[in-house]
A = this chain, B = another copy of it.
Amino acid sequence: AARRGEMAAWARAVRGLLLDVSGVLYDSGGEGGGVPIAGSVEAVRRIKASGLKLRFCTNETQATREKFVKKLQGMGFDISVAEVTAPAPAACRILKERSLRPHLLVHNDLVPEFAEIDKANPNCVVVGDAAENFTYANLNEAFRVLIGMEKPVLISLGRGRYYKETDGLKLDVGAYMKALEYACDVQAEVVGKPAKMFFESALAEMGVPPQQAIMIGDDIVNDVGGAQLCGMRALQVRTGKYRPCDENHPHVKPDAYVNNLAEAVDIILQQL
């Protein structure tokens, strides 16, 4: 009740929601690629029925948006490719603008997102959540390409530390980004959450200003902290990679905690 009271004032102004996907809609991994989090399928349906604008804002880079959306549809989610903001297309825009030819250290299933990009004679490295492609040999290869450049350019599709799959926690792209940064004494340019530009393009696609948008995510830094830096309110769900010690985070404090997406939607829709 206290929580609902707190949120009432500002939740009333909301016109659009940004939802993180992994850890909010579903837990990834295992057979079929994951399982929906209880109440989330229905929660997405209720958001759409409410007339609120909705955008799925994900750092997942283990598949093309097409494949990713198909997986979620298979779990029962009402979602389409046009509703998804993801790092790979944002990276492609940057590569084209700056005539960069990437060496890709990414998941096999993400490669088609870069189909139109010239990859001959690379002058940068793009690292995504390559998962099983993070082999010792592939990491050494990306490192050698990078260290061989006069001025190394490293583009990272996110800076997440880890995520939760059905069989446990996994290191995310940020850890491998740090390994390459350190080895080459270079700072990566991060595309995806928590980059300001990434949230801003999601807001632009919705046509909603940050003051009227709420981000809902399980990652205290990349979802909550990133969205707040853009002027949005942000809720942390206690699902996915959420850990109780997140509630003592030294720098980031969510505008509210909710047990899961279903509860967040309950509270928000009651204010409208």
Q: Are B182 and A169 in contact (CB-based, < 8 A)?
A: no
A180 to B184, CA, bound (A): 17
Q: Are B162 and A147 in contact (CB-based, < 8 A)?
A: yes
**Secondary structure class of chain A's binding surface, majority of residues:** helix
Judged by a CB distance under 8 angstroms, whether A135 is at the interface is yes
Q: Mark A16-49, 1 if CB is under 8 A from B, else 0.
A: 0000000000000000000000000000000000
Chain B binder among A75-83, A95-103, A138-146, A264-272? A138-146
Chain B binder among A171-179, A195-203, A225-233? A171-179
Q: Which residues of B contact A143 (CB under 8 A)?
A: 162, 169, 171, 175
* Selected contact of A171 from candidates B139, B172, B185, CB within 8 Å: B139
Chain B residue nearest to A221 in the complex (CB)? B185
CB contact under 8 A between A171 and B179, given known A134-B136, A136-B135: yes
A146 to B101, CA, bound (A): 37
Judged by a CB distance under 8 angstroms, whether A170 is at the interface is yes
* Selected contact of A175 from candidates B162, B171, B183, CB within 8 Å: B183
Give the size category of A's interface with B: 20 to 34
A172 to B180, CA, bound (A): 11
Judged by a CB distance under 8 angstroms, whether A161 is at the interface is yes
CB contact under 8 A between A161 and B183, given known A169-B143, A169-B144, A178-B178: yes
Q: Which residues of B contact A178 (CB under 8 A)?
A: 178-179, 181-182
16 chain-A/chain-B pairs, Cβ below 8 angstroms: A132-B136, A134-B139, A140-B168, A140-B169, A140-B170, A140-B171, A143-B162, A143-B171, A144-B168, A161-B182, A161-B184, A172-B183, A174-B182, A175-B179, A175-B182, A178-B181
**4 shortest A-B CB distances, which residue pairs?**
A175-B179, A178-B182, A179-B179, A175-B183
Known pairs A143-B162, A174-B183; list 20 more (Cβ under 8 Å): A134-B136, A134-B139, A135-B135, A139-B171, A139-B175, A140-B170, A140-B171, A143-B169, A143-B171, A143-B175, A144-B168, A144-B169, A147-B169, A171-B183, A172-B183, A175-B179, A175-B182, A176-B179, A178-B178, A178-B181
